Chains A and B, each alone.
Chain A
Amino acid sequence: MAEAVSACEGLARAASAEAPPDAALRLTAFEELYQRHLRQIYRVAYRLTGNHDDAEDLAQEALLEAFRAFDRYRPGTYFHRWVFRIMTRTYIDRLRRRARRPEVSLDAPAGPEGESRLGLLGDSRDDPQYLTETGGLDGTVQAALDRLPPEFRTVVVLADIEGLSYDEIAAVVGCPVGTVRSRLHRGREALRNALRPYLQGGRAE
């Protein structure tokens, strides 16, 4: 660990010594921003992927991509929403890539309830690690989220866990507000059916 830390510092020195000053500033500015928002960024990554391994991969990939594109970030706007936009795109792209080059046969049936294959591929219910990671109500809710098609899961997470408005979600996901509304409706309906026993006696307001 000490070695890793000193190597890290060595790299930091190398980066700041060899880079022009604005590069060092760029890195510092980026670090300050992402560290302040890491909790939210990780929360979305975790709720999208459903397990810590994939969540860390996704968060790392999105932040590296964000750093590469940092020149396009407009200071003063919400940094975490900008990262969400990169992260949701990374996430969907990754599932599509996996769907194009699947590890299991494409001839396998597309699921008992006719879910899209994309939705099934985002499903980590059977991951043994996942079962040990989450238990109780949290695990039950996450399992229901995992069963949603990724496009629905994304808007539900952004709306109900992150508290974003329809307009904000539309900007993050890059689709019309009407699409956000219908995906949210369908995603919540699926969750309402899956989690009904836990919703009885709940008050709407």
Chain B
Amino acid sequence: MNAHVTDRLSAYLDGALPARELESVRAHLAACGTCLRAYEELGALKALLGGLPDPVPPPGLAERIRWRLLRQAARPQAGAWTGSVPRGLRLVVACAAGVLVLLLPLGWIGGQRSPREAPLDTDAYFRDYLVLAADHPLADEVTPALLTGEGVVQDPALR
């Protein structure tokens, strides 16, 4: 009696055993009740798994997937189709913000004003915003929308 062939039965069942091993497994099965029983159980297992009923997808699954795909398609920086343009423009914004940051102290010195006295107008707000946006260009959904004029769908509840 040869050694048991348990470790090759699975592949034998699938017809995935190399030809040179096929004959020895077949011969062993003809002589060994233990391996034959294991083989039959594996066959029954395969049939059992193959016969499992299809799970019924939860109602509305297709619609929920569609919804998320649309959201993603409508988001400019995530889609491949807006591609490199916003990314390039974001770089320009970052550079512009950098220049502003560098020039800001010169403006203060030139105007003989302390930072405390710098005007708190919309320009200042926008400057701060640009600095922030340059620090986190990817997190800022408004940046590409502002630059490309494309609408951004934002739903905080779903983010």
Q: Which residues of A contact B (CB under 8 A)?
A: 4-5, 8, 11-12, 14-15, 18-20, 22-23, 26-27, 30-31, 34-35, 38-39, 42-43, 46-47, 52, 55-56, 59-60, 63-64, 67-68, 70-71, 137-138, 141-142, 156, 159-161, 163, 165-166, 181, 184-185, 188-189, 191-192, 195-196, 198-205
Do A59 and B50 touch across chains, with their CB atoms under 8 A apart? Answer: no
Interface residue from A43, A68, A71 paired with B72 (Cβ < 8 Å): A68
**Chain B neighbourhood of A47, CB < 8 A:** 52, 55
- Chain A nearest CB from B45 CB (Å) reads 6
B81, A141: Cβ atoms under 8 Å? no
The CB with the most chain B CB atoms within 10 A, among A20, A22, A191, is that of A191
The 9 A-B pairs at the shortest CB distance, nearest first, are namely: A202-B44, A204-B43, A160-B49, A23-B81, A46-B55, A185-B10, A199-B44, A199-B41, A11-B70
Check A181–B61 contact: CB distance below 8 A. Answer: no
| Closest B residue, CB atoms, query A12 | B70
> Do the beta carbons of A63 and B54 come within 8 Å of each other?
no
Smallest beta-carbon distance B61→chain A, Å: 6
A188:B45 contact, CB within 8 angstroms: yes
For B151, the chain A residues whose CB sits under 8 A away are 14, 18
Q: Known contacts A31-B66, A188-B45: does B52 contact A141 (CB below 8 Å)?
A: yes
B residues near A20, Cβ cutoff 8 Å? 81
Are A15 and B40 interface neighbours, CB within 8 A? no
Find chain B residues with CB under 8 A from A138 CB.
Answer: 52-53
Interface centre among A26, A30, A160, A204 (most CB of B within 10 A): A204
Query: 17 A–B contact pairs at CB < 8 A?
Result: A8-B63, A26-B73, A46-B55, A52-B55, A60-B65, A63-B65, A67-B72, A160-B49, A195-B45, A199-B41, A199-B44, A199-B48, A202-B43, A202-B47, A202-B48, A204-B42, A205-B43
List residues of chain B with CB within 8 A of the CB of A42. Answer: 55, 57, 61
Q: How far is the CB of A13 from the nearest CB of chain B, in Å?
A: 10
A192 CA / B35 CA spacing, docked (Å): 13
- Assess the A11–B72 pair: CB atoms within 8 A: no
Q: Which residues does chain B contribute within 8 Å of A68, judged by CB atoms? A: 72, 78, 80
Contacts known (A15-B73, A161-B49, A188-B45); A166 close to B62, Cβ less than 8 A? no
B126 at the A interface (CB under 8 A)? no
In the complex, the chain A residue whose C-beta lies closest to that of B75 is A15
Return chain A residues, CB-CB under 8 Å to B47: 202
A70 / chain B contacts, CB cutoff of 8 Å: 80
B7 within 8 A of A: yes
- Pick out which of these stretches binds chain A: B11-19, B86-94, B100-108: B11-19
Residues of chain A contacted by B16 (CB below 8 angstroms):
165-166, 181
Question: What are the interface flags for B8-49 relative to A under an 8 Å C-beta threshold, 1 for contact and 0 otherwise?
Answer: 011101101000000000000000000000111111111111
B residues contacting the other copy or chain, number (CB 8 A)? 48
Residues of A within 8 Å of B45, CB to CB, are: 160, 188, 191-192, 195, 199, 202
Residues A26 and B48 in contact in the complex (CB < 8 Å), given A18-B150, A39-B54, A184-B10: no
| B64 contacts A by Cβ under 8 Å | yes
> Closest residue of chain A to B70, judged by CB?
A11
A199→B67 CA distance, assembly (Å): 44
Whether A55 and B55, one on each chain, are in contact in the complex, defined by CB atoms closer than 8 angstroms, is yes
